[in-house]
Amino acid sequence: MSVHRIQAAAGDAAERAPKAVTMRVRAAISTIAAPDDTLARHLRNTICSGRLCGGQPEEAVSWRT
């Protein structure tokens, strides 16, 4: 395999990974929405994904456990 093909394959994987994470996060939030739509809405508004993943709540949250 040529160096160019190896680099292209690595680049493709690096591009696919953030998309895969985004899809998994969205699927998880959709699953959460069935029993708890409020939590799902909070997560949709808080979590951002792409090249980097993170979250910042719109307002302070106090969780009851």
Over the stretch 2-34, which tens digit does the pLDDT of each residue have?
555 555 555 677 778 888 889 999 999 999 999
- Domain map of the chain by residue range? 3-55
* pTM of the predicted structure, to 2 decimals: 0.66
Helix 3-33 with 37-46: angle, nearest 10 deg = 150
Q: Indicate if the pLDDT at residue 35 is higher than 90.
A: yes
What is residue 50's DSSP assignment? S
Instruction: Decide: 49 and 21 in contact? Cβ < 8 Å.
Output: yes
| Residue from 46, 53, 3, 1 nearest 24 by CA | 53
